[in-house]
C-alpha cells in the first residue's frame, strides 16, 4: 500500500509539473505573439515614416502619412486588448454593475458599429421585437464591448453588400431576472470546422486568402469569452465556410423598476470655441509637447510650456490671476511629478489655486491612475495617446467654452 501511495504521489507531482510547464509555455508563446504582432504595425510605421521623409511627391506623402495613422491605430488596439485581457485574467478587472435602461445599452452598440456598416454597404438588420427593453443592473460598457466585438467581426468577415443581423431577445423571465439571448449573424466568409474549436483562444486567426488583408489582434474573441464568463453567461458559435457565422450570447440580467433616477445623457458631441485660451502645459517629452502644442495652436489656443512639474508650479505661482485658463499635466516627469505638482498648485496661495482646471494627460491609463489623478486634485484624466477631439472638448468643458 505504501508503494502504491508513493506512486500516486509521484504521479501528482508529475501532473503538477506538467501543468506548470504548460502554463509557462503558453505565457511565453503569448509574449512572443504579442511582440510579433506589435512589430508588424511598428514596422509599417517606421517604414512609411522613412518613405514619407524621402519622397518629394506631396500626394504620396499624404498616402504614407495616412498609412502611418492606420498602423498606429492597429498598434494601439493591440496594446489595449493585451492589457485588457491581462487585467481580466489576473482578476484585476471586475464587473461594475449599475442601473441602466436596456435601450441605452443597445443604442451605444448601434452607434459604435454604424460607421463600419455604412462604409462596407452592409445590409444591417436590428431586431428587438422579442426583447424586454426594461431597466437592468448591468456593466453597460462591458456588455457593449462584447457585442461591438462580435458585430465588428461580422462586418469585417463579410464581403461588401453582405448581410449582418443583430437580434436581442428575451427567452424567459423569473424572479426578477431577464434571460436574454443576443445573436449576431452574418452571411460572410464563415469559419472552417478545424478552426472553430480554437476560435476563443488568444492570437488565433484563420489565415486564408480571404482574410489575408484584414487586420486584427486575434484577441477580440478571447476577451469576449472571458467577459461572458465573468457575467456567468454563455456563448455559442455556429459557422460554415462560405455561408456565414452566428454567435449567440446568453446573459441573465437583473431587472430593475421602470423608474430610474439621474440619467446621464452627457455623451453627445458638442461644438466649442477655444480661441484665445491660454494653457500651461507641463510635459517633459519634447515630441509630445510639440504635438500637443501644434494641435492646440490650430484651435487658436496659446500654449506656455513647462518641462517638469516644478517648472509648471513656478510658472503658475508667478502668473497673474486669469493669465492661464487651464493646466495640462503629464504624470511621470522629473523633479516634481504630475501628482506632486498638482497637490502643490492646489495648496498654493494663488487666487486660482483651487479652481484652475487641471487635466492629466498620461500614458498611465489604468483605472487606478485615473483615480489617483482625481485624488491629487485634477479635474480629469486623459489617457495617452489622446484623441485630439477629446482634448478639445475637455478643455472647452472645463473652460466654459461649449456652445451647446
Ligand atoms: P481578430 O482581431 O483577428 O478579428 P478575433 O479574436 O476577434 O480576432 O477573431 C479571431 C478569428 O476568428 C478571426 O481572425 C477570424 O479568423 C475568425 N472570425 C471571428 N469572427 C468571425 C466571423 N464573424 N466570420 C468569420 N470569421 C470570424
- Cα torsion 336, 339, 344, 350: sign: positive
Is there an atom of ligand 1 within 6 Å of 205 CB? yes
Q: Is residue 248 classed as helix, strand or coil in its secondary structure?
A: strand
Of all protein residues, whose CA lies closest to atom 21 belonging to ligand 1?
Answer: 153
Q: Alpha-carbon dihedral of residues 387, 389, 390, 393, nearest 10 degrees?
A: 160
Cα 69 to ligand 1 centre (Å): 23
Closest CA to 246 of 185, 180, 160: 185
Span of 135-139, 267-271, 300-304 with lowest mean pLDDT? 267-271
Res 35: pLDDT: 79
User: What pLDDT, on a 0 to 100 scale, did the predictor assign at position 222?
Assistant: 92
Q: What is the pLDDT of residues 105-131, one digit of tens each?
A: 999 999 999 999 999 999 999 999 999
In short, whether 215's Cβ falls inside 6 Å of ligand 1 is: no
Q: In angstroms, rounded to a whole number, what is the distance separating the alpha carbons of residues 190 and 196?
A: 10
- Mean pLDDT computed over 273-296: 93
Distance CA(226)–CA(279), nearest Å, equals: 42
The pLDDT tens digits for 298-318 are 999 999 999 999 999 999 999
189 lines ligand 1 (CB under 6 A): yes
Cα 354 to Cα 316: distance, rounded to the nearest angstrom: 12
The residue with greater pLDDT, 79 or 167, is 167
Give the pLDDT score at 261: 57
- CB-ligand 1 contact for 180 (6 Å cutoff): no
CB under 8 Å to 281, separation ≥6 — which residues? 289, 292, 293, 296, 303, 304, 305, 306, 327, 328
Q: How far apart are CA 122 and CA 163, in angstroms?
A: 6
Task: Say if CB 109 and CB 147 are below 8 A apart.
Answer: yes
* Cα–Cα distance for residue pair 358/352, rounded to 1 Å: 11
Q: Find the 90 Cα to ligand 1 centroid distance in Å.
A: 24
Q: pLDDT band at residue 278, thresholds of 50, 70 and 90?
A: very high
- For the range 173-180, what are the long-range contacts, defined as Cβ-Cβ under 8 Å and sequence gap of 24 or more? 173/132, 173/255, 176/254, 176/255, 177/252, 177/253, 177/254, 177/255, 178/132, 178/134, 178/136, 178/252, 178/253, 178/254, 178/255, 179/250, 179/251, 179/252, 180/131, 180/250, 180/251, 180/252, 180/253
Contact indicator for 382, 359 with CB cutoff of 8 Å: yes
Pairing of strands 177-186, 163-174: antiparallel
The grid cell for 377 is 486634485
312 lines ligand 1 (CB under 6 A): no
Asked whether 331 and 343 are in contact (CB, 8 A), the reply is no
pLDDT at 188: 95
Identify the pLDDT of residue 269.
64
Check if 216 has its Cβ closer than 6 Å to any atom of ligand 1.
yes
In the chain, % of residues over pLDDT 70: 94
Higher pLDDT, 38 or 315: 315
Question: Whose grid coordinates read 461572458?
Answer: 228
Q: Which three cell numbers stand for residue 108?
A: 451605444
Which of these, 321, 339, 347, lies nearest to 375 by C-alpha position?
A: 339
Query: How far apart, in whole angstroms, are the C-alpha atoms of residue 364 and residue 377?
Result: 17
Looking at residue 62, what is its pLDDT? 95
Among 118-132, 191-205, 265-279, 371-385, the least confident range: 265-279
Please give the pLDDT value at position 60.
94
pTM (global) more than 0.75: no
Tell me what the mean pLDDT of segment 4-33 comes to: 81
154 CA: nearest ligand 1 atom: 23
Mean pLDDT of the chain: 89
pLDDT band per the 50, 70, 90 thresholds, residue 218: confident
Ligand 1 center from residue 207 Cα (angstroms): 10
* Cα(306) to centroid(ligand 1), Å: 46
Q: Whose Cα sits closest to atom 16 in ligand 1?
A: 206
C-alpha cell read off for 138: 448591468
Report which secondary-structure segment, H or E, holds 338.
Answer: helix 338-346
Closest CA to 255 of 72, 129, 383, 131: 131
Top-confidence residue, 300 or 92: 300
Q: Where are the beta strands (DSSP E) in 227-296?
A: 234-240, 244-256, 278-282
Amino acid at each position: 500500500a505504501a508503494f502504491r501511495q508513493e506512486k500516486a504521489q509521484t504521479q501528482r507531482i508529475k501532473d503538477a509539473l506538467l501543468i506548470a510547464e504548460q502554463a509557462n509555455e503558453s505565457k511565453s508563446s503569448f509574449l512572443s505573439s504579442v511582440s510579433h504582432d506589435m512589430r508588424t504595425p511598428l514596422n509599417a510605421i517606421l517604414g512609411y515614416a522613412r518613405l514619407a521623409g524621402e519622397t518629394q511627391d506631396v500626394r504620396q506623402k499624404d498616402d504614407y502619412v495616412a498609412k502611418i495613422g492606420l498602423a498606429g491605430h492597429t498598434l494601439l488596439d493591440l496594446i489595449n486588448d493585451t492589457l485588457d485581457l491581462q487585467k481580466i485574467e489576473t482578476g484585476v478587472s471586475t464587473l461594475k454593475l449599475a442601473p441602466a435602461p436596456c435601450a441605452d445599452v443597445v443604442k451605444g452598440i448601434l452607434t459604435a458599429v454604424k460607421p463600419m456598416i455604412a462604409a462596407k454597404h452592409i445590409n444591417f438588420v436590428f431586431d428587438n421585437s422579442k426583447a424586454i427593453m426594461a431597466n437592468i443592473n448591468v456593466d453597460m460598457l462591458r456588455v457593449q464591448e462584447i457585442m461591438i466585438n462580435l458585430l465588428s467581426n461580422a462586418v469585417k468577415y463579410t464581403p461588401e453588400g453582405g448581410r449582418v443581423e443583430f437580434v436581442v431577445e428575451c427567452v424567459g423571465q423569473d424572479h426578477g431576472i431577464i434571460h436574454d439571448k443576443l445573436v449576431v449573424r452574418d452571411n460572410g466568409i464563415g469559419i472552417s470546422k478545424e478552426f472553430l474549436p480554437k476560435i476563443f483562444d488568444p492570437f488565433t486567426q484563420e489565415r486564408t486568402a480571404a482574410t489575408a488583408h484584414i487586420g486584427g489582434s486575434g484577441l477580440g474573441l478571447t476577451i469576449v469569452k472571458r467577459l461572458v464568463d465573468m457575467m456567468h453567461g454563455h456563448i455559442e458559435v455556429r459557422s460554415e465556410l462560405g455561408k456565414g457565422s452566428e454567435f449567440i450570447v446568453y446573459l441573465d440580467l437583473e431587472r430593475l423598476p421602470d423608474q430610474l433616477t439621474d440619467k446621464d445623457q452627457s455623451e453627445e458631441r458638442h461644438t466649442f470655441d477655444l480661441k484665445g485660451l491660454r494653457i500651461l502645459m507641463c510635459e517633459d517629452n519634447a515630441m509630445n509637447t510639440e504635438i500637443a502644442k501644434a494641435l492646440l495652436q490650430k484651435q487658436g489656443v496659446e500654449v506656455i510650456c513647462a518641462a517638469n512639474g516644478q517648472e509648471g508650479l513656478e510658472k503658475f505661482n508667478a502668473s497673474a490671476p486669469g493669465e492661464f485658463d487651464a493646466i495640462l499635466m503629464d504624470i511621470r516627469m522629473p523633479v516634481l511629478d504630475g501628482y506632486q505638482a498638482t497637490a502643490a498648485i492646489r495648496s498654493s496661495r494663488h487666487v486660482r489655486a483651487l479652481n484652475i482646471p487641471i487635466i492629466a494627460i498620461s500614458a498611465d491609463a489604468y483605472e487606478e491612475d485615473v483615480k489617483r489623478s482625481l485624488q491629487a486634485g485634477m479635474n480629469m484624466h486623459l489617457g495617452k495617446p489622446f484623441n485630439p477631439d477629446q482634448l478639445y472638448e475637455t478643455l472647452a468643458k472645463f473652460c466654459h467654452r461649449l456652445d451647446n
